[in-house]
Structure 1
Amino acid sequence: MSLINVDQSKCIKCGICTSVCPSAVLSLDKTGPKVTAANNCIACGQCVAVCPCEALDNIKSPIAEQTDIESFPVINSKTAEHFLRSRRSIRCYKDISVPREKLLELTKIAHYAPTASNSQGISYIIVENKSVLENASKITFEWMESQLNNSPHWSFSRHVKNYKATGIDTVLRNAPHLILATAPNNFKNGRENTISQLTYVELYATTIGLGSCWAGLFEMCAFSNYSPLLSLFNIPGDRVITGAIMVGYPKYKYNKLVNRNTLNIAVIN
């Protein structure tokens, strides 16, 4: 079966599909678009989505599975700026579980984020069990303490000391949920794709009343392949954790937008 099918009665031979193809899969001749390098197709669906006449179909990204866009952009620039700036890293959560359907909604949105050459490849583990989260924090603190003996870290000592003195969890912040991203251990774009996808989660979470925060200390422990932590989540040997974010209902409301440091910009003209 051919990679693409062209409805000649609709095709106006504009060549837009060949122009937007990121992998040079298509070329244009007098009869319309032709496949010249089928193996290069990354299933991004741009050729199908951009066609002004709906004349093109790609078996890797069928037109029947694409959704019509009525208008774009859907929000003005000022609203977008306010929305993006109002996102905060949430470190204080209500002691309330998030319905599973909302957590699944977050991972679904993550799946639509841009990834390197449309490689995607990220899977998710949603952690709802509070005792598992408590154990994960405990294990991470144990790992941080073990690192102090050989390679002191500027923040590890502070976190471990406070945890021992007060029992306050600065690893997972008593968040009710944790979303773990995993990828095959030989997948070269795992971390980059995870950052892109979990950024989508962070932004979308605010629209359904949730807050989130990257679990940086937890990630450092996971990235060191610390076996007690990997065993806790039953991570198989052929996969690695590539990212983690806490999720829950924010305990407090932020009423101000915070500025950043002065932006340094260089322009080459």
Structure 2
Amino acid sequence: MIDFIVNESKCISCKECVADCPAVIIELEDKIPFIKPENEKKCYRCQHCLAICPTAAISILGVDPETCVNPDKAAGFEQVDALIRTRRSVRRFKDKDVAPETFDKIAKAAANAPTGKNDHQVQFVVVDTREQMAKFKELVISTIEKAEQEGRLDEHSAIFAVFAKHFRNGKDIIFRGAPHIMFSVTPKSAPTPVADGFIALSYAELAAASAGLGTVWAGFVMWLVAAFPEILTEIGIGEDMNVAYALLYGEPSIKYHRGVKRDEITVRKVKLA
């Protein structure tokens, strides 16, 4: 059941929901939108019908349109541009946990990221306390040390042993001292698992920046879990899941006083004969 409900006293029969439905399953009956029961399974669950209704007459999936965000509250281009330009890759963090409610807001915002076929199967696997993060770091470092002892590090992965030694000596190259890490994972059976995971994590990164948190894309961690997939198994990420990437995050111990100017990008305009 998708709970497609129309408040007939508000409906003005504008047909916008009919025209905008990507699944093409909304019809008019006596000038009122409706969906045939046999067509409900075709619903994309995108909520376009709710969003486009000018009079808030449509509810779907149990969502009350009166509780939804008003587009008038959306940031303008200058605000979004400022957020993008002032976002920095942070590598110095405070030794404190991020409040659970702060992460919850970020996750809920990222849940609105687009996915292939509106599939929305992205999951965030999160190490959300410093206590658990310390255990995760130990798991990674001990895995490297064991691989070195067993002679399983080749010329490409030998650098891991150097990282591990630095870690034992108090220099955290891999995790940058971050109190938390999040992995963006999607079932491999999803229509577009790789893209979905990256897009959701990008949304989370910008949401985190707007909440005053620092983030950095965890390249060394991704390098390590590719070499030692047993690390993923230990944190509950199975072989049936695609890991898009990982993001280290926490409260920054530094403050950047301005954004940057880096406007150069190659733009190639297509001109067909």
Q: What TM-score comes out, normalization by structure 1 length?
A: 0.79
Residues 1:188 and 1:196: Cα distance change in structure 2 (over 3 Å):
same
Aligned to 1:174: 177
2:197–2:245 Cα contact (<8 Å) kept: yes
In 2, Cα distance between equivalents of 1:15 and 1:147: 64
Deviations 1:164-191 (A, max 9, x none): 4675332211211112233334334333
Aligned to 1:115: 115
Aligned to 1:186: 189
Unpaired runs of 5+ in structure 1?
A: none
In 1, Cα distance between equivalents of 2:255 and 2:172: 21
Instruction: Select 1:149's aligned residue among 146, 151, 154.
Output: 154
Residues 1:131 and 1:9: Cα distance change in structure 2 (over 3 Å):
closer
Unpaired runs of 5+ in structure 2?
A: none
Pairing 1:226–2:229 present: yes
Amino acid aligned to 1:100: P
Residues 1:176 and 1:16: Cα distance change in structure 2 (over 3 Å):
same
The aligned runs of 1:1-269 (5 Å cut-off) are 4-28=4-28, 31-35=31-35, 37-58=39-60, 61-64=61-64, 67-127=67-127, 128=129, 129-138=132-141, 141=144, 149=154, 152=156, 160-161=161-162, 163-164=164-165, 167=169, 168-223=171-226, 226-227=229-230, 229-236=231-238, 238-260=240-262, 262-267=264-269
2:59–2:65 Cα contact (<8 Å) kept: no
Amino acid aligned to 2:182: I
Deviations 1:36-95 (A, max 9, x none): 74332111111012111233333xx33426624445253332222112210011112122
Amino acid aligned to 1:200: Y
2:58–2:65 Cα contact (<8 Å) kept: no
Aligned length: 262
Deviations 1:232-269 (A, max 9, x none): 31334554544321111112212232233622224458
Aligned with 2:72: secondary structure?
A: coil
Residues 1:234 and 1:12: Cα distance change in structure 2 (over 3 Å):
closer
In 1, Cα distance between equivalents of 2:250 and 2:204: 12
2:44–2:117 Cα contact (<8 Å) kept: yes
Structure 1 range deviating more: 173-182 or 183-192: 183-192
Amino acid aligned to 1:234: G
2:119–2:190 Cα contact (<8 Å) kept: no
Aligned with 1:72: secondary structure?
A: helix
Residues 1:29 and 1:205: Cα distance change in structure 2 (over 3 Å):
same
RMSD after superposition: 3.3
2:145–2:164 Cα contact (<8 Å) kept: no
Q: What TM-score comes out, normalization by structure 2 length?
A: 0.78
Aligned with 2:220: secondary structure?
A: helix
1:140–1:171 Cα contact (<8 Å) kept: no
